[in-house]
């Protein structure tokens, strides 16, 4: 018997979005286990769709009676239909063109990286761009600078990028191609590394090839923007199709790679099979922020393509000791990390969000960064105002128990990344034992319960931690890091177990969640699968008509497949 493909259907029957025009359903799924997210009746046998709405769930026999002459019937063969997933924080975009080096250990040391670079330079034509993803083993080695890279590869551009995305090491050829020289001043929120004692900081001194935060993101956007349109569209399509195979039916694109206008043009032309939210990410210059990106309009409000929300990054991550912490790092005496922006810049960002009513998203990892952000929000407007605007903290790894009450009162949504809890060895090197224990790898319910925030998943794809929301980021980032040097690459497979754990707990809060999604939070997408982990067919992706409702309820049908990753071990090599 031919296997039916799994499907991903964007749109749960949200109560506020439940009214559709009269007439027979266009599609009825029968013979399955339909997860309804209704605590009174969590499971049904069949589901009916008209236009962009799920109009009925019930028994197979009862829904067959709704069919009209043009209704399509599909028997799902006893498989399960579950809420599709909303990837609330993704970094898609054009892949930088060149040779991407893979290390044997997954988290190679400097010697392994050096050997890989030398071998690639011998085999590739002169001028080929060479890229490698590195972790803390390379970043912690002070010999990782442009002088070492120049001695290995003097003629080809080389980029070593941290898997956290917050730091890179470039050789002289890359710096020259980007027009970055010794006199180039630091942009707001970023730094060019300089040789100690070679000149004044911030805008003078010999470059050592390292760059952090907005200095690197400005450079990386220039590289991504140089990728041809055809290749960029293909990259977006590959990402969206991979998302669909994971059961992800909405992607929220943080869009650090491109200007808003270019990202929108590419996504629209790529004709993606899932919903796509482009989030503005303004770059910075030495004199301040570039606000051109914040003025981009929404091309299709509530449709398959949405432009909303503005993101800023307030601190780094523990990988490069960039997270702003209240207590110093254990492996760098007196160092607490640092904020990317001074108080006056953060206050200006908050004022702009209040005027525009656009959702504010701030990357804040360290407890000091989170505390500064929450207190700045509270000082700028009443708590009721923020509860209506739903500001987001991206990551919030060190959201401490003493900060949770204020986050809850402000209605802050915390968009968490489970992969950040899978690097305990790094955390124990960076922090004192009690601080490191807060970031141990554990289940999301355990993690938030210990922090004083009972894990209370809600219906659809939006689990929440008590009053402060919690979007689970699952699937693509973990799988991507398995390919790109994440020190716990073998943990990528845990994404499916996290999905299963979330769905198991959604029923209890489902009734409370029957509302239209937050901006970009497409709650209630539906996905069909066989068992806990399915391997589906290779059928194509089918686009359904885009929604007209502002509630953003529509559906998409997509195939899905499982992925596997291998465990990677560390090596203990060093540069002699």
CATH number at residue 114: 3.10.310.70
Interval 463-467 mean pLDDT: 28
Residue 564, pLDDT above cutoff 70: no
Confidence band (pLDDT; 50, 70, 90) for 26? very high
User: Of the candidates 406, 413, 375, which has an alpha carbon nearest to the alpha carbon of residue 392?
Assistant: 413
Predicted pLDDT of residue 420: 72
Residue 68 lies in a domain: no
Confidence band (pLDDT; 50, 70, 90) for 104? low
Dist CA 369 CA 114 (whole Å): 35
Residue 377 lies in a domain: yes
Write down the mean pLDDT value for the chain: 76
Confidence band (pLDDT; 50, 70, 90) for 302? low
Indicate the range of 75-84, 103-112, 441-450 predicted with least confidence: 441-450
Predicted pLDDT of residue 141: 95
Last residue of some domain: 223, 248, 272? 223
Indicate the range of 73-82, 370-379, 414-423 predicted with least confidence: 414-423
Are residues 456 and 348 part of one domain? yes
Segment (H or E) for 35: strand 33-35
Confidence band (pLDDT; 50, 70, 90) for 512? very low
Residue 134 lies in a domain: yes
Residue 550 lies in a domain: no
- The DSSP letter of residue 493 is G
Residue 425 lies in a domain: yes
Last residue of some domain: 223, 256, 279? 223
**Residues contacting 563, CB < 8 A, separation 6+:** 245, 246, 479, 492
Confidence band (pLDDT; 50, 70, 90) for 106? low
* Residue 429 dihedral angles phi and psi, to the nearest 5°: -75, -35
Residue 122 lies in a domain: yes
| DSSP letter for each residue of 249-309 | EEEEE---SS-HHHHHHHHHHHT-SSEEEEEE---EETTEE-GGGGGPPPSSTTSSEEEEE
Residue 368 lies in a domain: yes
Between 270 and 201, the higher pLDDT residue = 270
Interval 293-307 mean pLDDT: 73
User: Of the candidates 208, 204, 211, which has an alpha carbon nearest to the alpha carbon of residue 183?
Assistant: 204
Interval 466-495 mean pLDDT: 40
Confidence band (pLDDT; 50, 70, 90) for 36? confident
Which tokens in the block code for residue 434?
């009690």
Dist CA 542 CA 350 (whole Å): 41
Are residues 217 and 349 part of one domain? no
Are residues 319 and 202 part of one domain? no
Strand partners, 210: 169
Domain count, the chain: 2
Confidence band (pLDDT; 50, 70, 90) for 54? confident
Are residues 502 and 384 part of one domain? yes
pLDDT tens digit string along 168-217? 999 999 999 999 999 999 999 999 999 998 876 556 799 999 999 999 99
Predicted pLDDT of residue 299: 54
Residue 459, pLDDT above cutoff 50: no
Dist CA 483 CA 102 (whole Å): 8
Residue 565, pLDDT above cutoff 80: no
Predicted pLDDT of residue 333: 95
Predicted pLDDT of residue 438: 73
Dist CA 260 CA 279 (whole Å): 8
Indicate the range of 376-380, 477-481, 560-564 predicted with least confidence: 560-564
Predicted pLDDT of residue 298: 58
Predicted pLDDT of residue 294: 79
Burial of residue 295, with CB atoms counted within 10 A of its CB: 0-12 exposed, 13-18 middle, 19 or more buried: exposed
Residue 8, pLDDT above cutoff 70: no
Indicate the range of 325-339, 418-432, 518-532 predicted with least confidence: 518-532
Are residues 519 and 407 part of one domain? yes
User: Of the candidates 41, 44, 50, 49, which has an alpha carbon nearest to the alpha carbon of residue 32?
Assistant: 44
Residue 47 lies in a domain: no
Helix (H, G, I), strand (E, B) or coil at 537: coil
Last residue of some domain: 526, 555, 570? 526
Are residues 480 and 360 part of one domain? yes
Confidence band (pLDDT; 50, 70, 90) for 297? low
Give the range with max mean pLDDT: 325-334, 506-515, 564-573.
325-334
Interval 17-30 mean pLDDT: 72
Residue with tokens 């060019």: 192
Between 293 and 384, the higher pLDDT residue = 384
Between 62 and 4, the higher pLDDT residue = 62
Predicted pLDDT of residue 373: 98
Predicted pLDDT of residue 553: 26
Residue 310, pLDDT above cutoff 60: yes
Helix (H, G, I), strand (E, B) or coil at 156: coil
CB count in 10 Å sphere of residue 112: 22
Q: Which domain holds residue 366?
A: 309-526
Interval 19-32 mean pLDDT: 80
Dist CA 506 CA 509 (whole Å): 6
User: What are the angstrom distances between the C-alpha of 71 and each of 29, 36, 48?
Assistant: 11, 22, 10
> Of all residues in the chain, what percent carry a pLDDT higher than 70?
70
Strand partners, 294: none
Residue 455, pLDDT above cutoff 50: no
């Amino acid at each position: 018997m031919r296997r039916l493909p799994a499907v991903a259907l964007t749109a749960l029957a949200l109560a506020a979005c439940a009214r559709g025009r009269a007439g027979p359903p266009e599609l009825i799924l029968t013979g399955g286990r339909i997860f309804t997210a209704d605590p009174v009746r969590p499971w049904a046998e069949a589901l009916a769709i008209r236009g962009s709405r799920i109009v009925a769930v019930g028994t197979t026999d009862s829904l067959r009676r709704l069919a009209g002459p043009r209704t399509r019937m599909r028997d799902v063969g006893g498989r399960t239909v579950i809420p599709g997933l909303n990837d609330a924080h993704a970094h898609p975009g054009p892949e930088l063109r060149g040779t991407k080096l893979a290390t044997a250990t997954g988290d190679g040391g400097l010697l392994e990286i050096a050997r890989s670079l030398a071998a690639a330079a011998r085999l590739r034509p002169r001028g080929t761009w060479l890229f490698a993803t590195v972790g803390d083993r390379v970043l912690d080695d002070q010999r990782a600078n442009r002088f070492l890279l120049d001695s290995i590869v003097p003629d080809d551009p080389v980029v070593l990028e941290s898997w956290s995305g917050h730091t890179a090491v470039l050789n002289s050829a890359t710096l020259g191609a980007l027009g970055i020289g010794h006199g180039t001043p630091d942009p707001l929120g970023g730094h060019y590394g300089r040789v100690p004692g070679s000149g004044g900081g911030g805008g003078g001194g010999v470059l050592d090839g390292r760059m952090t935060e907005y200095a690197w993101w400005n450079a990386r956007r220039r590289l991504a923007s140089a990728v041809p349109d055809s290749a960029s569209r293909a990259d977006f399509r590959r990402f969206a199709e991979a998302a669909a195979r994971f059961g992800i039916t909405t992607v929220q694109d943080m869009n650090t790679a491109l200007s808003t206008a270019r990202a929108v043009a590419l996504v629209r032309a790529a004709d993606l099979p899932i919903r796509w939210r482009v989030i503005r990410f303004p770059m910075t210059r030495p004199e301040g922020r570039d606000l051109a990106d914040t003025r981009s309009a929404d091309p299709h409000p509530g449709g398959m393509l949405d432009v909303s929300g503005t993101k800023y990054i307030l601190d780094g991550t523990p990988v490069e000791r960039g997270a702003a912490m209240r207590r110093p790092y254990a492996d760098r005496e007196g160092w607490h990390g640092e904020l990317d922006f001074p108080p006056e810049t953060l206050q200006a960002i908050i004022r702009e969000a209040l005027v525009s009513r656009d959702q504010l998203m701030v990357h804040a990892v360290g407890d000091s960064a989170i505390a500064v952000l929450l207190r700045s929000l509270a000082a700028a407007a009443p708590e009721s105002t923020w509860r209506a605007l739903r500001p987001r903290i991206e990551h919030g790894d060190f959201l401490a128990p003493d900060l949770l009450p204020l986050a809850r009162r402000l209605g802050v949504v915390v968009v968490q990344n489970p992969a950040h809890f899978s690097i305990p060895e790094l955390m124990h090197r960076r922090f004192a034992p009690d601080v490191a224990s807060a970031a141990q790898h554990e289940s999301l319910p355990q993690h938030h319960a210990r922090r004083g925030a009972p894990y209370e998943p809600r219906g659809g794809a939006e689990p929440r931690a008590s009053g402060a929301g919690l979007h689970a980021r699952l699937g693509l980032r973990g799988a991507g890091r398995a390919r790109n040097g994440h020190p716990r690459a073998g943990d990528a497979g845990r994404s499916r177990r996290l999905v299963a754990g979330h769905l198991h707990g959604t029923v209890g809060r489902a009734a409370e969640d029957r509302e239209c999604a937050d901006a970009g939070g497409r709650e209630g997408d539906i996905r069909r699968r066989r068992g806990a982990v399915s391997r589906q067919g290779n059928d194509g992706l089918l686009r359904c008509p885009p929604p007209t409702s502002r509630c953003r309820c529509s559906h998409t049908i997509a195939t899905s497949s499982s992925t596997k990753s291998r465990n990677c071990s560390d090596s203990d090599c060093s540069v002699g």
